[in-house]
Amino acid sequence: MKKSVLSISLISAILLFVGIVFKNFHWPGAGILITLGALVGIVFLLMFLVKGTPLLKSGLEKSNGIIVTVTMAVILVSFTFKVQHWPGAGILFIVSHIILFISVILTFIDAFTEADKTRQSIKVLIAFIYFIFMSTLTYIAVFFDGFQPPLQG
């Protein structure tokens, strides 16, 4: 089952990447590839949720794992809506950032309540990377969304 989860995540990443390249070059089929990549990504997240949650030990780890998985699914959906210019993309984008902020706080709380120092260091590193991911998404959304360079001439 581990190979199937990994292969589904790889298929999702490839579909999304190829769809973004197609969208960038305005080639036909970009929307289908991006939508399929997002759907396969959501299937991967659901499989990860079902298979990965029982492996977590404490209740805080389990609830944090569920919240992070749901957050990533909402981010994937909001990204798809934003790239496809579908209605509701802005609201989904704001909701995904709020949920992402809450899940980052929960990840830090989970990291600092860990008794084992090695696991605590790894969790803090993951929480910090997660926070950088959130900050980068916010920066891109605020400063580059809809940015049009000035016309030359």
Residue 152 has pLDDT above 70, yes or no: no
This prediction's pTM? 0.76
How many other CB atoms sit within 10 Å of the CB of residue 32?
12
Encoding tokens for residue 117?
């120092």
pLDDT at 18: 93
Q: pLDDT digit string (tens) for 44-103?
A: 988 888 888 777 777 778 888 888 888 888 888 888 888 888 898 888 888 888 888 888
For residue 36, which amino acid is it? L
Quick one: which of 97, 67, 65, 58 has its CA closest to 79? 97
